[in-house]
Structure formats: structure tokens, C-alpha cells
Amino acid sequence: MSIKKRLLLSNIGMVIIPVILFIVLEMIIGYILFYPLKGEINKASLDFFLSIRLFILIFVLILTNGLLTFLVSKSIINPLRNLKKATREISSGNLDAKVEVTGSNDELSELAHAFEIMRRKLKEAHDIQKQYEENQKELIASISHDLKTPLTSIKGYIRGISDGVANTPEKMDRYIKIVEKKADEMESLISELLLYSKLDLPHVPYEMRELDLLAYFEDYLEDLRPHLAKRNIHITLEYDRSHSYLVMADREKLNRVVANIVQNSISFMDKENKHLKFKLTSNNKEVLIEIQDNGMGVSRDELPYLFDRFYRTDVSRNSTTGGSGLGLAIVKKIIDGHGGAVWARGDIGQGLRIYFTLKKRVEADHVEQDIGD
């Protein structure tokens, strides 16, 4: 009941209830006073009855008005008191102070409900901000660690050169090449850090345009094939020519996605005959891209963490091909920005399969089968 109706009924009750209660009390007292007289009413009894009627009226008015005022004010003041208490708690930084919402459907309960929603949103925003700050601390710590490793090597080899340890032209050339390699590693890491930080910002612009993924991968793999042939890596592309592969995508960012996945696969190929397979599957809403290698693979326990920033598998931690730990994290950021999904499957010794989806440009004229596992 709304406060307006409550106050209106309270005012009506302050008139009707005293009248009814006064009449009832008057009848009861009159019955007590005059019933024993058996109809023979004397002047003294009548005068007494008339004299107490005024007191009865005053008593009834005080009782009913006081009781109704107390009940109505309590129903209004208590919710306001709860809101005031919650406001103080929240202003002091305690976002866990819940606002009690009463069962009555009035303006105050609606206000309390709206206030509680606001508190929850503030708490969510606070938790997100807190998590963001923790992530930033973790990011800084990881950056410091990853930059320190090549920097220490560079300092060590430069010190060796200055101390005359590289006392032959061959040794000097080897030291310089190592320093150059470590500097390149630092440059690559910094570039990936800058890209990741840029993607981490809200409202990153994506130049979404219509893109035929079949033509895209045919051109991309044509350029990539000569470079991988030198490493004895064979590439295949599987697709169904009758399906449509038109999507909306940012071509430049998609290049980064494919390059990072390919580089990740190449780094952990341990077989003599290396194979990298690309597969396109389409349904009426999206295109699924699968990139599969026959490398050393990743344990199933580690698959959920592959796309976390700075995460490295046990294999990569124990090798010189650990990379920056940002490659697949960047992949996830870009695919998320496209409104798609990315995941991985595989196991130790079974290679790694990375999947990601992109939304189609237009729905196909016919309904195709859903993308399978």
C-alpha cells in the first residue's frame, strides 16, 4: 500500500474509529449504570453518566489518534532509519551493508530496493577496481621479471667484452650476436606489452569490415608456406567450398591472432615431420577456425590457463622458447573484442588444437549444421 493511501486511510480512521469506539463504550457504561435500576433512572445516575461522557470522548480520541499515528509513523520512520544507517555505512566505505527491503509495496520499499541495487553495483564496481589494481600489480611484477632476464644477460656479456673475456674475433662476434638476440627479445616483449596494454583499455577501436576467411587464409598461408618450408613444417587448409565464410573482422588484428597462434605452435613442435593444419567450419551464425599442430602438446589441467597473461606451461618454463607469455592472452583479447570465443584442446604428446569463432557477415540462406567438436 502506498504512503498516500496509508495516510488517507489513517485520517479516515481517526474520524470513524473514535465515533464507533465512543458509541460502544457509551453503551457499555450505560448498561452497567442503568441496568440494575430496571428502568427507574434517577437524576444522580443520569448526571454522573453525562459527566463521564466527555472523559470517554477525550480518552477515545487520544487512544485512537495516538495508536494510528504511532503505527503509520513507524511504517514510515523505520525504513527511513534503515536507509539512513545504510547511507552512513556506505559513505564510510562499507559496501557490504545491505539495505533491508520491507514487504510492503510502497514508495519507501521501492526506494530501498533501488538503493540496494545501487549498493550492489557500487560493490561490483569496487570489486572490479580492486581486481584491476591487483592485476596491475601482478602485471608490473611479471614485466619486471621478464625484462630482468634478458637485461641481466646483456649486462653479463657486455661486462665480458669490457673485461677482455672475448679475446678473439670469433668470441667477440658470438658475444655481440647474443647481446643482439637478447635485445631483440626485449624489444619483442615490450611491443607485446604495449599491444596488450592498448587492448586492455576500454573502447579500443576495431575497424570491422567484411572479410572472406577462405580467401584470407589462402593468401595468408601462401605467404607463410615458404618460411615454414625451411623449418620442415607442412601446412594444410581444410574447408567446404559450398559454405560461406564471410565474417566481420578487423584484418590487422586478425593477422596478429593467427601469427601468435602459429608462433606458439612452431615454438613447441618437437617432431621431425612437423604439421600445421588449418580448418574452417561454418554455420548460419559464425565461422569456427581451428589451428592444429602435432607438437608436444599441453596437459589437460593446463588448457584452461593457456590464455591467461604471462602464463607458461611446464614445458615452456623449462625451455628456451618460453616467449613473453602474452601471445595467447593477446589472442583472447582480440577475439573477445570481435565478440567471438577462443579455447584449446589437446594433451601431452597429442599436439595442440586452438579454436576461435568469428561472427558471420550475413546469415546463410540455408541452415547449416551446427559446429561440431
> What pLDDT, on the 0 to 100 scale, is given for residue 246?
92
List the grid coordinates of 52: 463521564
The more confidently predicted of residues 236 and 161 is: 236
List the grid coordinates of 90: 556506505
Q: Is the pLDDT of residue 287 over 90?
A: yes
Contact 255/318 with Cβ under 8 angstroms? no
> What pLDDT, on the 0 to 100 scale, is given for residue 351?
86
Q: Catalogue the E-assigned strands of the chain.
A: 209-212, 233-238, 246-249, 274-282, 286-293, 342-346, 352-359
CA dist., res. 50 & res. 230, Å (int)? 120
> What pLDDT, on the 0 to 100 scale, is given for residue 241?
86
The more confidently predicted of residues 257 and 95 is: 257
Highest mean pLDDT among 3-12, 112-121, 182-191, 225-234: 225-234
SS3 277: strand
Q: Where in the chain is the domain with CATH 1.10.287.130?
A: 134-200
Q: Is the pLDDT of residue 296 over 80?
A: yes
> What pLDDT, on the 0 to 100 scale, is given for residue 85?
77
Contact 343/305 with Cβ under 8 angstroms? no
Contact 242/369 with Cβ under 8 angstroms? no
Q: Where in the chain is the domain with CATH 3.30.565.10?
A: 209-359
Q: Please say whether the structural domain 209-359 has been given the CATH code 3.30.565.10.
A: yes
pLDDT mean across residues, the chain: 76
Give per-residue pLDDT as tens, 220-236: 999 888 888 888 889 99
> What pLDDT, on the 0 to 100 scale, is given for residue 291?
93
Q: What is the CATH number of domain 134-200?
A: 1.10.287.130
> What pLDDT, on the 0 to 100 scale, is given for residue 147?
74
Q: Is the pLDDT of residue 133 over 90?
A: no
> What pLDDT, on the 0 to 100 scale, is given for residue 357?
94
Question: Which one-letter amino acid corresponds to residue 264?
Answer: N
Give per-residue pLDDT as tens, 47-97: 666 667 777 777 777 777 777 777 666 666 677 777 777 777 777 777 777
> Does the model's pTM come out above 0.75?
no
> What pLDDT, on the 0 to 100 scale, is given for residue 365?
41
Among 82-91, 104-113, 225-234, 264-273, the range scoring the smallest mean pLDDT is 104-113
Average pLDDT of the segment spanning 36-41? 58
